[in-house]
Structure 1
Amino acid sequence: MSVSANTKSFKLPFWAQIIAGLVLGVLLGWIARSQDLSWLATTLEKVGDTFIGLLKLAVAPLVFFAILVSITNLRKVNNAARLASRTLLWFMITSLIAVAVGIVIGLVTNPGAGTGLTPQDGAKPETTGSWIDFLTGIVPTDVITPFTELNVLQIVFMAAVAGIAALQLGEKAQPILTLSESVLELLQKALWWVIRLAPLGTVGLIGNAIATYGWDLIGQYATFTADIYVGCAIVLFVVYPVLLATVAKVSPLQFFKGAWPAIQLAFVSRSSVGTMPLTQKVTERLGVPKEYASFAVPFGATTKMDGCAAVYPAIAAIFVAQIFDIQLGVGDYLLIAFVSVVGSAATAGLTGATVMLTLTLSTLGLPMEGVGLLLAIDPILDMMRTATNVAGQVVCPLIVASREKILDRDKYNSVSTAPADADEPQAMAAAA
């Protein structure tokens, strides 16, 4: 057997590299904290920050060109307006189900009870979200600031305007569209290189979380942390499979075979936008037409957040209300559902859901100090939230494609966790 063949035979599959990174990160984080090794803690922090920084580096141009190209690609699809409206409808339906799951779990478990936390433990965030900020912040004042300040919502707005304008111009806009498609492919290629570093980034991100917060903090927030993970798990492993089986009439097992690489990368990276190219790849491999997937996935990566914008704010609002001894009524829970459906774009596919949380608390009239209670535990929660977000961004296009009879069922049923090719090392991560 050749040397190259031997090398290939010993290559770890991507999912195993991620798990190895998780284990090593936990071990190094524990060592750094227990032995008070500040240099190791700093190293882990820098490794994790560098990985996230590389992902964010591509976010602004990636979102702009992905949204622009996705809108113009709709011209290649029959019944484009119907597909777009059905996609938005299923985004709303699944968000309502997810927020209902979060509310029920919060009411049953009382996550704010018995924590030992008091209102004095919280602190107001430097910036908060409000409906005025959300609505007025959609329209940028110039074309540069949204990119320099990474205001994804404004970038989405500009891209949507540019895409619609290009559709109106028709053939005159073709040179711009060709350039945009080339730039998008270039950005995605560069992002593949960053994604190759995900196992290393995992070591830094998980290790830094353990070194910084330790197990004591997790214990103090045990019920709340468990609620978020259980709520997201119910949406991910119960709600989505039921919808796929009953509405889309497809096998949930096949869905997880095809979508798992994107779900696991989302868990590690904590970025829906950073995972977007892979999310689109797995969606297409599951039989969704490329022209439709190239619209639905970028759209979902910036607006479809069942973990960050539905399960999390519902449970967090109940948690904060209990800490501050404030009673929530039926009207408040309806407001939580409203914010989850309408305001999810505020999360913008980036790591963290602080903006969405402050938007929810301000709408309910709850103290902003509640945000400070949850910031420390946020990185640990964000992994599961983002994995749920990305899974939903695949599920909705599958449901729409199936109901509109454009889903390639043969392709869906034949998908497997096959070896990845050289350009997409994580695209099918289960085999070496």
Structure 2
Amino acid sequence: MALPYRSFGFQVLVGMVAGLALGLVARQIGAGPDGDLNWLATTLQTVGSIFVSLLKAIVPPLVFAAIVASIANLRALDNGARLAGQTLLWFAITALIAVIIGLAIGLIVQPGVGLSTAALAAKQPDSVGGWLDFLKGLVPGNSLALSGSTSVGANGTASTSIGFNILQLLVIAIAVGLATLKVGEKAEPFLAFVRSLLAVVRALLGWVIRMTPIGSAGLIGAAVATYGWDALARLGVFTGAIYLGLAIVLLIVYPTLLIAHGLKPLPFFAKAWPAIQLGFVSRSSVGTMPVTEAVTERLGVDKSYAAFAIPLASTTKMDGCASIYPALSAIFVAGFYGIPLSAVDYALIALVSVIGSAATAGLTGATVMLTLTLSTLGLPLEGAGLLLAIDPILDMGRTAVNVTGQVLVGVVVAKREGILDESAYYGERALVGA
């Protein structure tokens, strides 16, 4: 029997508790000599930032190799096309349920009513999502899906950074994967390389994931030190509404769907817990993808199907970021500015949330999805600026629900299609690193 302290889940929990304690200490120390973060808060922020940067660095090759290999793996399944269709259908079903819950809570709680602009700073966010931009963003500008951005610092100095557009990379990977199916046997050498690349990238990511306890301490600590309870107090009703919606989806909707398919929820959460934990602290569905796929396989999902469903879900299946959050945020902004919403507006929120979830692309934050919803409804984009101060705190819970939903869909579809090994589902609990 493994000792508790050797368990990955136990180590992450210790890291989170340590981060909370260090964040509170940093909060008590106060600001630095120049009014900036003190040494402890800066250290925590640096540690957390390095951890997230390492995850992001591995994301591009991971997404490309995983999607291409997963599409190729569909050839090993007799009902590959049906599985793909069922997967997308259940993505939509669970997203619709989540957004309805978000709307219901928003209508009951009315989180934006009663707040004044004197209590909150309203500033339009730098990045804004729109349907035209979203559609244009699907088309890769180059074969590597590279994109550049320019920012101006406080001293007026402009800096340019180059990164990967994950949504475009997803489109490229899907196109390449479909092309390998078209080419057939001639694509085998290329697929062998892709599978080798995927194995190497997963090994690298495994090393990064082992740093999660340290990274979680930095991320949690930095959030507490930076935001404290002040931001939460000003937006306490909204924060509570978000986490209430997340809790309902996580603890009521998902277990109900499992029970409806003849599966007990406890084994599901026991084995999915490592992925849920990592999603919470990393705030990245894509960065959590290898652990998500591993726990999905441990739950008895066919390996070939899991290799297809999870990479796709990690970039497009966002019940927290793209369903509950934009629904409640739209109601919050409308209430804050005293703008009434009609039944058509609520239906539009649901439509945007279900269809536009790919805009979040599995990365930290949900600003694109939020501004996409607000611009579609014609609500003031400054409203998004009201919520950015507490976004990291909200994003932890959102990503945990995202990851749980990704595993759930894999299990549900596998059960419905008769490719779920229930002896593995109910087998002994296994944690990453245990």
2:279 is aligned to: 266
CA distance in 1, matches of 2:399, 2:105: 19
Q: Which amino acid aligns with 2:242?
A: I
Q: Which amino acid aligns with 1:343?
A: G
RMSD: 1.6
Equivalent residue runs for 1:194-343 within 5 Å: 194-246=208-260, 248-343=261-356
For residues 54 and 230 of structure 1, what CA distance do their matches in structure 2 show?
A: 32
C-alpha distance after superposition, 1:261-308 (max 9, x if no partner) = 111111111100000001001101111100001000001000000000
2-side partners of 1:403 and 1:77: how far apart?
15
CA distance in 1, matches of 2:311, 2:212: 21
Matching of residue 32 in structure 1 with residue 26 in structure 2: yes
SS in 2 for 1:125: coil
Note the 1:335-374 alignment, pairs <5 A: 335-374=348-387
| Structure 1 residue 118 displacement after superposition | 5.4
Query: How far off its partner does 1:27 sit?
Result: 1.7
Q: Find runs of 4+ consecutive structure 1 residues off by over 3 angstroms.
A: 8-12, 114-120
CA distance in 1 between partners of 2:297 and 2:11 (Å): 24
2:154 is aligned to: none
1:174-189 to structure 2, matched below 5 A, reads 174-189=188-203
- Secondary structure of the residue aligned to 1:149 is strand
Deviates more, 1:381-390 or 1:11-20: 11-20
- Distance in 1, matches of 2:352 and 2:75, equals 32
CA contact (8 A) 1:288 1:407 kept: yes
Q: Distance in 1 between matches of 2:224 and 2:265?
A: 34
Q: In structure 2, what residue type is equivalent to 1:22?
A: M
- Determine the C-alpha separation between the residues in 2 that align with 1:221 and 1:12: 38
**Structure 1 unmatched ranges of 5 or more:** none
Unpaired runs of 5+ residues, structure 2, are 33-37, 148-161
Instruction: Return closer, same or farther for 1:301/1:10 CA change in 2, 3 Å cut-off.
Output: closer
The secondary structure found in structure 2 opposite 1:274 is coil
> Shift of the alpha carbon at 1:250?
0.8
Contact 2:47 2:215 (8 Å CA) reproduced = yes
**Structure 2 letter corresponding to 1:164:** L
Q: Which residue of 2 aligns with 1:381?
A: 394
TM-score (norm 1): 0.93
Task: Give the Å deviation of 1:10.
Answer: 7.2
2:406 maps to which of 393, 396, 406: 393
Aligned counterparts of 1:190 and 1:149: Cα–Cα separation in 2: 20
Which amino acid in 1 is paired with 2:136?
Answer: T
Correspondence for 1:16:
10
Asked if the contact 2:98/2:319 (under 8 Å) is kept, the reply is yes
Q: How many residues align?
A: 414
User: Contact between 2:116 and 2:336, CA under 8 Å: does it hold in 1?
Assistant: no
Q: Work out the CA distance in 2 between the residues paired with 1:97 and 1:324.
A: 27
Preserved contact between residue 123 and residue 382 of structure 2 (Cα < 8 Å): yes
Q: Secondary structure of 1:126's partner?
A: coil
Conservation of the 8 A alpha-carbon contact between 1:118 and 1:323? no
Shift of 1:152: 0.7
Asked if 1:89 is matched to 2:89, the reply is: yes
Q: Say if 1:9 and 1:127 are closer, same or farther in 2 by CA, change over 3 A.
A: closer
Aligned 8 A contact 1:105 1:315 in 2:
yes
Deviations 1:327-369 (A, max 9, x none): 1111111111101111000000001001000100011101110
Q: Are residues 365 and 220 of structure 1, via their aligned partners in 2, closer, same or farther at CA, if it must alter by over 3 Å?
A: same
Contact 2:374 2:381 in 1 (8 A): yes
Residue 145 of structure 1 and its aligned partner are, at CA, apart by: 4.3
> What is the letter of the counterpart of residue 366 of structure 1?
L
Whether contact under 8 Å (1:124, 1:370) holds in the other structure is yes
Cα distance between partner residues in 1 of 2:117 and 2:412: 43
Matches of 2:57 and 2:328 in 1, distance apart? 32
- Quick check: 1:98–1:310 contact (8 Å CA) kept in 2? yes
- Alignment identity in percent? 56
